[in-house]
Structure 1
Amino acid sequence: MLAAGASSRLGRPKALLNVGGMEGPNDTLLSNAIRQARVLSRDVRVVCGAWYPLIRFRCRQQPSRWVPVACWHEGMAASLVAGIQSLGPRAKGVFVLVVDQPLLDIGALQALGEAARCFPTVPAAADYGRRPGVPAYLPRWLWPDVLALEGDRGAGRLLAEANAARLNIPGVHDDIDTPEDWVRAREELNRRALQATQFRD
């Protein structure tokens, strides 16, 4: 889980935005993202930087491991490298998610996880139309290329060059960068929570 950025456009740490809903009034965007990640793996690692350790102390859902990255300001590549270097020799691959996609479809995430388990050497990623992107699965053979990335570059180009399997994952375009993005996302989260409550009743 990549959560190291400064959230400069938002003006405050997006990881600590209050999502409310079914999980209670103090639930945060990061806690929600950790629950999403657990759909893919029990081993959830949060790569953090700009707002660490504040986000750790305020996060209700604790990951398997916090991975602080001192050079977070260098861009996404530094976070990817730190996350991969935290893994042991037995890992066949790694799932990559970001903290600011709260509306990801859980069924689609389950499909991504199943694809990686059935075909652990095949890279897979969300389909953004012209390019693949996060959430994504990076098999171990692709890691040397990821570790060579620099600056504010993710693994999208590498996934495209590797002909990654592309999956339709609703919610990937609903990321949180501005206060307006957050208003729209929270309204949708509240609507879903209300629907779920009515369904249970």
Structure 2
Amino acid sequence: MRSEIITASRCDSDQEFPALVLAAGASSRFGRPKALLTLRAQNGQSCTLLDRAIAQGRLLSRDVRVVCGAWYPLIRFRCRAQPSRWVPVADWHEGMAASLAAGVRSLGPRVKGVFVLVADQPLLDTEALGAFGEAARCFPGQPAAADYGRHPGVPAYLPRGLWSEVLALEGDRGAGRLLAKAGATRLNIPGVHDDIDTPEDWERIRQAVSRKGLRARQSQG
């Protein structure tokens, strides 16, 4: 009975704490849509980076919204995991600030804060990510973010009190400076530095995922 109560409570609060996956960029440095790059999961099945990002979002909330732009609707039809909502961004070419603004504007009046992830961090530690989500829900008015050493960054939690400043952001910079200025709580989430900007990054991360999957299969055997 206790676990059923906790599960019901978490499900209700998901409407107050949705998650945004930012996937609107053109992947110009990479040369093709990064969101559709394919990884082999531990169960042997293939998934796209966006599938994986949606799964990461669901560790934080059942309400996961994908902010899309440059490669939409292609990514929608190639993605196996479907989010709660697709949020197209007409001005995606203006940078990450436009994506954040579109995502925030898609949220309803009951929302207390929103989690923000990107689609090219497939090695995020799932336990640390889940703990990050629970910590943010315990202090809904306090911004929180992954600790990058010198600055905070995604994954991040933006309380409603910061949204007016988020909507005022411009260009290709995210909310990192805003989070630092607001004194965001920083948490260690292994894997945040393993993002994908170049084909070399992709090859390195693809091999890391393959090694991780091999170790998991060996331990199960």
- TM-score (normalizing by structure 1): 0.97
Give the number of the structure whose residues are more often strand, by fraction.
2
Q: Deviation of residue 20 (structure 1)?
A: 1.4
1:111 offset after TM fit, Å? 1.4
Matching residue within 79, 96, 104 for 2:124: 104
> Cα deviation per residue 1:3-37 (whole Å; 9 max; x = unaligned)?
00000111110000011132545410100111011
Q: Deviations over 1:57-116 (max 9, x none)?
A: 000111110001010000000000000010100010000000000101111101110111
Seen in structure 2, the aligned counterparts of structure 1 residues 23 and 87 have a Cα distance that, compared at 3 Å, is: farther
1: CA distance between counterparts of 2:152 and 2:184? 8
1:143-177 Cα shifts (integer Å, max 9, x gaps): 00001111112101110011000001111111000
CA distance in 1, matches of 2:217, 2:73: 34
Structure 2 distance, partners of 1:157, 1:185, is: 27
8 Å Cα contact 1:126/1:166 also seen in 2: yes
Kept in 2: contact 1:40–1:95 (CA 8 A): yes
Match of 1:89 among 98, 109, 117: 109
1:3 alignment partner in structure 2 = 23
- Structure 1 residues 34-73: aligned runs within 5 Å: 34-73=54-93
Whichever residue aligns with residue 91 of structure 1, its letter is: V
> Using the alignment, how far apart are the partners of 1:19 and 1:59 within structure 2?
13
CA RMSD of aligned residues (A): 1.0
1:80 aligns with 2:100: yes
Q: Which amino acid is 1:12 matched to?
A: R
CA distance in 2 between counterparts of 1:196 and 1:34 reads 22
Task: Please state how far the C-alpha of 1:191 moved relative to its aligned partner.
Answer: 1.2
Deviation string 1:116-145 (CA, Å, 9 cap, x unpaired) is: 111011100011111100000000001000
Structure 1 residues 95 and 179, CA gap change in structure 2 (3 angstroms): same
Q: Partner residue of 2:40?
A: 20
Q: Does 1:150 align with 2:170?
A: yes
Structure 2, unmatched stretches of 5+, are 1-20
Q: What residue number does 1:132 align with?
A: 152
Structure 1 segments, 4+ long, off by >6 Å, are none
- Do residues 176 (structure 1) and 219 (structure 2) align? no
> TM-score normalised to the size of structure 2?
0.89
Local SS of the residue matching 1:90: coil
Task: Give the number of equivalent residue pairs.
Answer: 201
Instruction: Specify the code of the residue in structure 1 equivalent to 2:121.
Output: Q
